[in-house]
Structure 1
Amino acid sequence: MGTIKVLNKWANRHTYLPLDLIRVALGIFLFIKGVDFMANSEMLAQLLKPFQNMAGSMMIIHYVAPAHFIGGILIATGLLTRWAIVAQLPILIGAVVLNFVGDMNTPNLITAICTLLVCGFFLIYGSGKHSLDYYFGMQK
């Protein structure tokens, strides 16, 4: 817990509006992907076709859309950002692996890797000064 406080204090001293805008853009992107997966559940089932014979494949389908939907809202507003990103990491790692197990789709691979890297940055950096975490005093 002490490490998190040290990271938060460092991030609050070195916060910049462009970083907060990137966090908001990441949240909006994940929210839109969650809505897209909810609207096109067949597309999500097709994406996860290489994993269909594995145990828990239906649970994966029901985890991805709500995690993106709710996590996107939390990341965009800066509320419980690190926890929301931790919920995104298995999905994003799975998206990268999925391109190597299934059909290679280069644009999806690049999108998944970039999103994974940005999530990794905000996992360390936190939500910044322009967030609900800071407003509610959760980072002081």
Structure 2
Amino acid sequence: MDTTVKGLNKWANAHSTIWFDAFRILLGAFLFYKGTYFVSNSGEFENLIAPASNFLGGMFAFHYVASAHIMGGIMIVFGLLTRWALIAQLPILIGALLINFIGEMNGINVLLSAIVLGLSMFYTVYGSGKHSADYYFKMQK
């Protein structure tokens, strides 16, 4: 496993462009925005997860989603422990896709959730890139 991750890091760093890092930063900023949006509009969040609230536990889901989006978004923007931050996002993003199929279908939300999930899976595999705290700390060794 360790050699696979190192190999992916080497490939990603060799092929990294400014766009690679820019999309990571935009992804983190979007997740941070959604986390703060959920905190400031908790009633809307409750309505959003109402179809699945029996499975998720409303307050637990609210606190997990908000804190994972806010802290994870900050970490992703700076490229600090990017893979771990994104792994914490994956269940939320999969749930965001599923909630559209359980409750009221909203095409824009499905598309947005799918794009964010795809980007998250990409950066979970390939890492944070050259312009990140992870890369900086790795080079300090």
TM-score normalised to structure 2 length:
0.94
Query: What corresponds to 1:76 in structure 2?
Result: 77
8 Å CA contact 1:9–1:139 kept in 2: the answer is no
Q: SS at 1:86's partner residue?
A: helix
Structure 2 equivalent of residue 29 of structure 1: 30
| Whole-Å separation in 2 of the counterparts to 1:129 and 1:139 | 13
Deviation readout 1:23-56 (Å, 9 max, x if unpaired): 0000000000011011111111110101222363
Letter of the 1:76 counterpart: V
Structure 1: 4+ residue segments shifted above 6 A: none
Specify every segment of 5 or more residues in structure 1 that has no aligned partner in the other structure, as ranges: none
Could you say which residue in structure 2 is the equivalent of 1:44? 45
Indicate yes or no: 2:91 matched with 1:90.
yes
Alignment of 1:44-63 (within 5 A): 44-54=45-55, 56-63=57-64
Q: In the alignment, what sits opposite 1:130? A: 131
The verdict on how the C-alpha distance between 1:89 and 1:31 changes in structure 2, with shifts beyond 3 A counting, is same
Output the CA distance in 2 between the equivalents of 1:35 and 1:4.
Answer: 32
Q: Is this contact kept in 2: 1:79–1:133, CA < 8 A?
A: yes
Letter of the aligned partner of 2:130 in structure 1? K
State whether residues 52 and 102 of structure 2, in contact with CA within 8 Å, keep that contact through their aligned partners in structure 1: no
RMSD: 1.6
Classify the secondary structure of the residue corresponding to 2:138.
coil
Alignment: residue pair count: 140
CA distance in 2, matches of 1:105, 1:92: 15
Q: Deviation digits for residues 70-90 of structure 1, max 9, x if unmatched? A: 010011110000001100000
Question: Percent same amino acid at aligned positions?
Answer: 53
Q: 1:55 to 1:34 in 2, by over 3 A?
A: closer
Q: Which residue of 2 aligns with 1:65?
A: 66
Structure 2 distance, partners of 1:137, 1:23, is 18
Contact map agreement 2:28 2:74 (CA 8 A) in 1: yes
User: Which residue of 1 is the match for residue 106 of structure 2?
Assistant: 105
Taking structure 1 as the reference length, the TM-score comes to 0.95
